[in-house]
Amino acid sequence: MRVRLLYFGVLKELIGVSEETVELPEGTMVGELLHILRGRTSNPSMSNGTDEGLWRSLAVAVNRAYGSSEVVLHQDDEVALLPPVSGGYYAYSECGE
Amino acid sequence: MRSEIGRIEIVDTAIAVEAIVAELKAGADGAVCVFDGIVRDNTRGRRTLYLDYEAYREMALEQMRGLTAEAVARFGVRDVAMVHRLGRLMVGETSVLIVVASAHRAAAFDACRWLIDSLKKTVPIWKKETFADGSVWAAGEPFPEQIAVHPRGEAE
């Protein structure tokens, strides 16, 4: 099945695109999708400690509603990976320096 | 006169603070509480040049509508305006405006505080802060436990 992925904020910059469509096995759950995406990012800059922290602090929205790792995905779902929102006390990644 | 409760907007240009506050007031109100969130000139002493805000716009609007309805139900306030601006904002500009109108001040203060705190935790809007010497995506508090997810097979 096909699902549409959306990336925001620091995650968009780390992955390098704001959205993409991926092919997944029927019945894939949100937690499994995250595991797949994380394994796929072989970029060394994504495996340092701060980005590990980012992967552990994401929220996921399925069709614009927050969903747990147990939510089962369906064909044509819109799945958004959301870094913590803009409270602003510390930073995940420095860029532009 | 608006019949619908809650003026919820995400905009790409300057927020007309005074006009929005004036428009929300009605005869039944004894208090209007305004939170005007503006761009600060530094973060922990590092000089800020500007902020870039981005949102998952459709979901952010839905979340803001939900928070507004909950504030009206929980605190018994009469009406709410919640407006967030996206794009590049300079020091001193308004990024978010929350206006709560109520018969009594206590409910207006409580609802206003609850709305901005909730917005910062759950509404999908992010900011990138640019300093004289580099930029960072600001990362707020972790998501509330009922929202956070973890890759499968991870210790939680």
Q: Which residue of A has its CA nearest to B156?
A: A56
Give the mean pLDDT of B117-145. Answer: 87
Q: Is the pLDDT of residue A46 over 60?
A: no
Averaged pLDDT score across all residues of chain B:
91
Task: Please report the domains of chain B, with CATH numbers, ordered by start residue.
Answer: 7-137 (3.90.1170.40)
**Cross-chain residue pair B138–A59, CB shorter than 8 Å:** no
pLDDT digits (tens, 9 = 90+) for A7-44: 999 889 888 899 999 999 999 999 999 989 888 775 55
**Cross-chain residue pair B120–A8, CB shorter than 8 Å:** no
The per-residue pLDDT for A4 is 98
CA nearest neighbour of A52 among B154, B132, B64: B154
B122 half-sphere exposure, CB direction, 13 A CA radius: 21
Q: Which residue of A has its CA nearest to B125?
A: A85
CA distances for B103 relative to B2, B76, B80, B110, B112, angstroms: 18, 9, 13, 13, 14
Residues 6 or more apart whose Cβ sits within 8 Å of residue B4: none
pLDDT digits (tens, 9 = 90+) for B19-67: 999 999 999 999 999 999 999 999 888 999 999 999 999 999 999 999 9
Q: Is the pLDDT of residue B151 over 80?
A: no
A→B contacts (Cβ < 8 Å), by residue, are 6, 8-10, 13, 29-32, 34-35, 38, 54-61, 64-69, 80, 82-97
The per-residue pLDDT for A42 is 54
The per-residue pLDDT for A43 is 56
Q: Architecture of domain A2-82 in CATH?
A: Roll (3.10)
Q: Is the pLDDT of residue B1 over 70?
A: no
The SS3 call for residue B135 is strand
The SS3 call for residue B128 is strand
Complex ipTM over 0.85: no
Assign residue B77 a region (left: φ > 0; alpha: ψ between -120 and 50; beta: otherwise).
beta
Give the mean pLDDT of A49-58. Answer: 72
The percentage of chain B sitting over the pLDDT mark of 90, rounded to a whole number, equals 78
CA distances for B39 relative to A44, A91, B96, B140, angstroms: 34, 17, 10, 16
Given pLDDT bands bounded at 50, 70 and 90, which one contains residue A51? low
Look up tokens 């803001």; give the residue. B64
Domain range summary for chain A, segments of one domain joined by +? 2-82
Given pLDDT bands bounded at 50, 70 and 90, which one contains residue A89? very low
CA distance B152 to chain A (A): 5
Give the mean pLDDT of B96-110. Answer: 98
